[in-house]
Amino acid sequence: MAWVIGGVVLAYLAVFAWRFAEERLYADSGYYLARVINEGAFRIEHGRWVLALAQLPAWLGAKLGLSLRALILLQSLANVLWMAIAMLIAGFALRDARAVIAIALLHVIGLSDGLFCPVFELYFAADLLVLFVALLRSTAAREPYRMIALVALLLLIASSHLFAAALLAGIIILHLDRLERKQSLTLGLVLIAQLTVHAFTLSAYEKDHLAFVKRLDAHALAAWLRPDTWGDAFAYVSLHYPDALLLALVTMVLLFRQRQGWQAAFIIAFLLTATGLILLKEPGFLHDRYREQLNFPVVAWLTLMLTFFVDWSGKRHAVLITLMALILGYRVVEAERLAPFYQERTAWIKQQITLAQQHHLTKAIVTTPVYFGPADHAIEAGWSLPVESLLLSATESRSSTVSVIGTQDLQCPGVAQGLDELVFRCWDIVPARWLDERWFSPPHGRYVPLPAEPSR
């Protein structure tokens, strides 16, 4: 059954990645692909080495000189290829069927907009965390190789994201009864050492994202504690995460029936703490790709608890398989519901590229923001427009390369003064020669507003 679930998810996501390869250039996905292509190396930011897993297929393709269209497809398939590798390791090397199920579920539960930006570090680190748990619970792995592998996984996971380190710490605590004192002490000290080193080497980006802690005051905490805040949070979860809500309910009921009260209490405490931090970091409930990434640690925690701490024997097995089928069905329907809006977004970018080419422009400015899709999803075209326009325009031929930026980009520091250069992204102004001429023809001239109608 584990391989049935894993195979179904893998097959669907592979087809999905093939169908919507261009749409999956959204946000960070296109950014990292363009970096890899033009720099010829992995783009590792903030010490998050797990990013190399997301970039490896496209990097290999670039080294082989594949077409840009092929590289875009490889970028889209990267998380699916990694998922397959992780499941094979879990199923055949570690012989853990539950780990296979966990990996499959982590790629669908709680994800809708995230399916169109599949390069978030924690998506890859979550699979590594499953392998960490499987290795932790393994009786076949030999010492000291098992401990060496656990430490290596710990360092890779903890460095990927602060929430990944929190998930890792929670997993270790819940497995203390399975670990010898020396082993738990080793893992704890390595995790503390890694976090300490990282604390002294935080990037400017990470410091900015942690700055909300300094901004907390009595007013912010009072707003966070208000019943209506948590009421809105419940309404938001019910709308966007009915699968995770059902999963949480079933997991808690089964844990209490198994008389695992302290584990259930610890799981609930982790959920409330993580949710509270997310609400403090990002008040409000507008759902978009970034908010979904913020929420993913909670979904990952629930998935790990269900697959590894709930007893699947007896009548529970049928109940849990039914639950999996319901969740997978819901997420497939949700992905297909949102896909046309992302296709509309990509079509709009291509339309701006065509207009620029008709006006013989290689650098153009269009009005942004532009939003697509239902009111409860913020699918916008501005953030990664410059990157995606480069990639999409050059798929036909390098000579058709166009750079389109939005009026939002003009508000970023240095952009208005750098319109003679290449605006790679809102925060990145580079010389046009930075582009690799195997795939791109460097745009020339100065960025100018794009006329609304094509020339005749």
Assign 456 a pLDDT band (cuts: 50, 70, 90): very low
Please compute the mean of the pLDDT values over residues 366-389 and round it to a whole number.
91
- Worst-scoring range by mean pLDDT, 118-132, 205-219, 326-340? 205-219
Indicate if the pLDDT at residue 73 is higher than 50: yes
Assign 453 a pLDDT band (cuts: 50, 70, 90): low
> Of 23, 104, 14, 34, nearest to 386 (Cα)?
34
Indicate if the pLDDT at residue 455 is higher than 50: no
Classify the C-alpha dihedral 243-248-251-254 as positive or negative.
Answer: negative
pLDDT at 49: 95
In this structure, the chain runs to a length of 456
Q: Distance from first CA to last CA of the chain, Å, rounded?
A: 61
Highest-pLDDT range among 56-70, 232-246, 421-435: 56-70
CB-based contact 275:233 (threshold 8 Å): yes
Residue type, 370: V
User: To 5 degrees, how large is the angle CA 257–CA 260–CA 264?
Assistant: 95
Give the pLDDT confidence of 149-190 residue by residue, as tens digits.
Answer: 999 999 999 999 999 999 999 999 999 888 889 999 999 999
pLDDT at 314: 87
CB-based contact 321:266 (threshold 8 Å): no
Q: Is 192 helix (H, G, I), strand (E, B) or coil?
A: helix
CA distance 268 to 291: 21
Listing DSSP states for 79-101 in one string gives HHHHHHHHHHIIIIIS--HHHHH
CA distance 229 to 233: 6
Angle between helices 242-257 and 261-281 (to 10 degrees): 150
CA distance 53 to 123: 11
Task: Look up the pTM and report it.
Answer: 0.94
Indicate if the pLDDT at residue 267 is higher than 60: yes
More confidently predicted of 319 and 55: 55
More confidently predicted of 278 and 357: 357
Cis-peptide, bond into residue 144, ω within 30° of zero:
yes
% pLDDT > 90, the chain: 77
CA distance 279 to 356: 41
CA distance 446 to 11: 45
Q: Cα 317 to chain center, whole Å?
A: 30
Give the pLDDT confidence of 86-105 residue by residue, as tens digits.
Answer: 999 999 999 999 999 999 99
Please compute the mean of the pLDDT values over residues 185-207 and round it to a whole number.
92
CA distance 337 to 374: 10
DSSP state, residue 116: G
Please compute the mean of the pLDDT values over residues 381-404 and round it to a whole number.
94
pLDDT at 67: 97
Across-strand partners of 366? 406
Q: What is the mean pLDDT of the chain?
A: 92
Please compute the mean of the pLDDT values over residues 372-387 and round it to a whole number.
90
DSSP state, residue 450: P
- Reading the block at residue 34, the tokens are 């363009």
pLDDT at 454: 47
Across-strand partners of 425? 428
